[in-house]
Amino acid sequence: MGTPVATGDDPYVLTADGIKEPPRGWKASLRYLGPGLIVSASIVGSGELIATTALGAQVGFALLWMVILSTAVKVAVQAELARWTIITGKPALTGFNQVPPRLGRVGWINLLWMLMALSKLLQVGGIVGGTAVALSMLVPVGDDPLGSTSLTVWTVIVVVGSIALLYTSSYSLIERGAFALVAVFSVATVVIALGLPFTPFGYGGGDLLSGLTFTIPAGAIGAAVAMFGITGVGADEITFYTYWCVEKGYARWVGPNDGSEEWHRRARGWIKVMYKDIFLSWVIYTFSTLAFFIMGAAVLNPQGLVLEGNEMITTLSQMYTDVIGEWAAAAFLIGAIAVLGSTLWASIPSWARMYTNVLAELGVVDWKNAASRQKWIRGFTVGLPLLWGAAYLFINSPVIMVQIGGIMTGIFLPAVVVATWYLRNTQVDRRLHGSRSFNALLVISSIAISLLGLYSLLNVFGVEFG
């Protein structure tokens, strides 16, 4: 799955020289999949390990239905926006900026994106903190693994190490790393979740059915909204998926639109490859999400354990030690480092690209100049981890930081829906639209996401439900 774009080619520039015939069938397509793995790496960290497990610990199995819905409902919007990217060769924030009305050089959706990006300083800061806590518990600096000295040292190591590993920001490196990080912990967690019925923390069909009643327990709305916004593909993943589709080569392989039937055929072929890429990603993060939620509901909830502050990792590790013994604590910490690290691995280069793209839309950066674009991306690859690490050391509460980002993601999602429909209706040839079943799913997805955004917004202003 690691086929990179040829060295020296700019994937954001479509030329006849870059054209490649699309593969047919799953077997031939496998080597061209990969952008979805980067999305999975981002998703399987903060949403699953922290937000979903916290929700299961708080409400038990009651919101199992929302976990399933949250992973499935946003996929159609992700695919539709990626379709526009493959056809035009443009990344999401370039498209968002074309949606009227505009305030000077910047569109209203990109203004909202900037607000979401500020909240993400907290969310990804929480991921940096969670990784530092896990490392500190595994190899403490000083006597107290949760003391300020050890946490500060490990936060610095996480930040500096991330910058060093990702400074080149090459697509193939990021894709291969994402695949390795996602594989290990996801498989282990799914296996343990499936094995829970054979332990003192077993669950049965009745427990699972009780979670499919489409109700929200009193007092769980905030956590539920944050989980819905952050699990599955959120607004940020839907957005940055377009950059990885371009850098994998999908748009370049389709080539510039010359109006020919050959171009339409290639576009349809590479869109089908993108569908397969999204499906594989969906399978990975859906099973991981369900596993983490079930573990929180079956192990933490009956014991009254909740995820708070820096004790989050201690509480999470108890899921494993309670189920398979004390020896599992170290294994869990290594796994937690891998799964949280996978989010950083995907988030740093993704956000670096989005920040650079926004500055390009503001006229600060020449997006079409590959050397200038790469310089700015590398600058953000250094600067963003420093900001995230500082945010964690200042606030010191990973769970709250992640949930704040989740709520803001939920608020931004309807703007992504608006942009996706605008670009679909104004710039996508009707012959390249999806099938009737896909279009029906897109409508359902758009409505559900819009309701989530309204729900999140009202909740922020103190309107209580349930």
Other beta carbons less than 10 A from residue 443's beta carbon: 12
Decide if 466 contacts 216 (C-beta within 8 A): yes
Question: Per residue in 74-103, pLDDT tens?
Answer: 899 999 999 999 999 999 999 999 999 998
The pLDDT assigned to 360 comes to: 97
- 2 pLDDT above the threshold of 50: no
- Give the C-alpha separation, 85 to 338, whole Å: 31
- Give the C-alpha separation, 298 to 292, whole Å: 10
- 16 pLDDT above the threshold of 80: yes
- 223 pLDDT above the threshold of 80: no
Q: What is the 3-state secondary structure (H, E, C) of the chain?
A: CCCCCCCCCCCCCCCHHHCCCCCCHHHHHHHHCCHHHHHHHHHHHHHHHHHHHHHHHHHCCCCHHHHHHHHHCCHHHHHHHHHHHHHHCCCHHHHHCCCCCEECCEEHHHHHHHHHHHHHHHHHHHHHHHHHHHHHHHCCCCCCCCCHHHHHHHHHHHHHHHHHHHCCCCHHHHHHHHHHHHHHHHHHHHHHHHHHHHCCCCCCHHHHHHCCCCCCCCCCHHHHHHHHHHCCCCHHHHHHHHHHHHHHCHHHHHCCCCCCHHHHHHHHHHHHHHHHHHHHHHHHHHHHHHHHHHHHHHHHHHHCCCCCHHHHHHHHHHHHHHHHCCCHHHHHHHHHHHHHHHHHHHHHHHHHHHHHHHHHHCCCCCCCCHHHHHHHHHHHHHHHHHHHHHHHHHHCCHHHHHHHHHHHHHHHHHHHHHHHHHHHHHHCCHHHCCCHHHHHHHHHHHHHHHHHHHHHHHHHCCCCCC
- Give the C-alpha separation, 385 to 50, whole Å: 20
Q: Give the residue-averaged pLDDT of 10-32.
A: 94
Question: Per residue in 446-460, pLDDT tens?
Answer: 988 887 777 767 766
CATH number of 16-460: 1.20.1740.10
Decide if 125 contacts 156 (C-beta within 8 A): no
- 441 pLDDT above the threshold of 70: yes
- 6 pLDDT above the threshold of 50: no
Question: Per residue in 315-342, pLDDT tens?
Answer: 767 666 776 676 666 777 777 777 778 8
- 396 pLDDT above the threshold of 80: no
Write out the two tokens for 204: 């049965």
The pLDDT assigned to 348 comes to: 93
- 3 pLDDT above the threshold of 60: no
Write out the two tokens for 302: 């009956």
The pLDDT assigned to 31 comes to: 93
- 30 pLDDT above the threshold of 80: yes
- Give the C-alpha separation, 133 to 418, whole Å: 39
